[in-house]
Amino acid sequence: MLGGLAMAARENKSGFDDRLVELFRNRAQLKKAHQALQQEFHSLEEKLKNAEASTRRAEERLEAIERLMAKPEAGYNGLVYFQLRSLWRACFDQLGVFAEELRKQQEDRERKKQLQNFNKDRAHRMDEINDLIRRVKDEADEIAGEIGGLESRESRLRGFWNYFRRREVAARLGERKSEHASARTRIEELFDRRIKIESEPRPEFPGLSVEGRRIVNIAVIAYAQHLYAYFSEGNIARLAREAVTRPIQDLKYGSEKDCTHLIDKIQQLTLGLKDSHLKAEGLKEMALEIRRHAEFRNGEDTVPAASSLDGMLTGSVLAGPRTNVLMDEYWDIYEVFLR
């Protein structure tokens, strides 16, 4: 009886220990979940603060614009300001379209090259397996010929006096039949391998290579530089950059006559933005010049270091006004690059 009570006590203690362990485990899980919720709360709180700050800035800009536009003499100044911002967005959009066209072209080239290499490698392996099949088949045919000769010889060895010769021929015949069976098995295996090679699916395209993305990005830089030179007439490119980096109340564009002249110039240049000759003229040479100067931070980086293009500004290839479009982040170029 005492033994039973002791056993029951041990079982109760074991059950209590299990419940205690489970309690501590649940407590640790609750603590971990609480910490995760706190982190999420702080993250959302930070996002809310940022959103509120952004809203306040937008409201302040709107109020400043309202106060400015309430003055009749400032109306033309505002028109120039927003025309310049619109031009900046148009250049950004144009860069994006250009980059997408180049991406598709480069992707097509790399995909074709990948398939060419795949087909070339498969054809090489098919040639190897076919050559091996021919050699093994020739060997099997040769063995089959020997088997036929041995069987014919064996059939002619009659009588007890040919017993030892017949046994020797039979042993040789057994060896050659075994070799022939092995050769046939080998041929079947080779045919299976050939079928497997023939049925290999085309490889999935892994995406543009680092070099492919660099090619596209360098062409985008060349086009951005071209746009800068194109819109430098009347200093429009610099004015557009100021319009997207500074508030409207900080900028003045002169008298009504000056503003009207600027608006006409902006519209005139914007109309020529999508002309095909603008893309083609000198871009290849410019891209080659950029590539000669471009330096990348590491083997995986696809955008040149902005400082590496400073030396290009004194080159002979770039005609017209020049600037380091990466350093000045013209046309929001970093948002266009392929990464």
Burial (CB < 10 A; 0-12, 13-18, 19+), residue 13, is exposed
How far is the C-alpha of 118 from the C-alpha of 200, rounded, in Å? 10
Q: Which two tokens stand for residue 30?
A: 């609750």
Residue-range domain boundaries for the chain: 1-44, 81-115+209-335, 116-198
Question: pLDDT confidence of 303, banded at 50, 70, 90?
Answer: very high
Residues 6+ apart with CB under 8 A from 333: 95, 220, 221, 224, 325, 326
pTM to 2 decimal places: 0.69
Residue 19 pLDDT exceeds 80:
no
pLDDT of residue 12: 57
Q: Which of 10-19, 128-137, 139-148, 309-318 has the lowest mean pLDDT?
A: 10-19
Query: Mapping DSSP to helix (H, G, I), strand (E, B) and coil, where does residue 189 land?
Result: helix
Residue 99 pLDDT exceeds 90:
yes
pLDDT of residue 5: 46
The DSSP element (H or E) to which 77 belongs, if any, is helix 75-156
Phi-psi region of 75 (alpha: psi -120 to 50; beta: other; left: phi over 0): alpha
Interval 15-31 mean pLDDT = 71
How far is the C-alpha of 122 from the C-alpha of 128, rounded, in Å? 10
pLDDT of residue 64: 64
pLDDT of residue 66: 63
Residue 220 pLDDT exceeds 90:
yes
Q: Which of 49-53, 88-92, 240-244, 291-295 has the lowest mean pLDDT?
A: 49-53
The DSSP element (H or E) to which 52 belongs, if any, is helix 2-69
Q: What DSSP assignment string belongs to 106-124? A: HHHHHHHHHHHHHHHHHHH
Report the share of the chain in percent with pLDDT over 90. 37
Type of residue numbered 335? E
Type of residue numbered 146? E
pLDDT of residue 321: 76
Type of residue numbered 9? A
Interval 281-296 mean pLDDT = 87
pLDDT in tens, 254-272: 888 888 999 999 998 888 8
Question: pLDDT confidence of 49, banded at 50, 70, 90?
Answer: confident
Helix 256-271 vs helix 75-156: angle between axes, to the nearest 10 degrees?
20
How far is the C-alpha of 286 from the C-alpha of 85, rounded, in Å? 27
Phi-psi region of 154 (alpha: psi -120 to 50; beta: other; left: phi over 0): alpha
Report the share of the chain in percent with pLDDT over 70. 81
Cα angle value 232/236/242 (rounded, 5°): 120
**How high is the mean pLDDT of the chain?**
83
pLDDT of residue 30: 76
Q: Which two tokens stand for residue 146?
A: 């020997």
Q: Which of 2-16, 74-88, 157-171, 304-318 has the highest mean pLDDT?
A: 74-88
Interval 223-242 mean pLDDT = 92
Residue 16 or residue 6, greater confidence? 16
Q: How many CB atoms lie within 10 A of CB 221?
A: 28
Residue 77 pLDDT exceeds 80:
yes
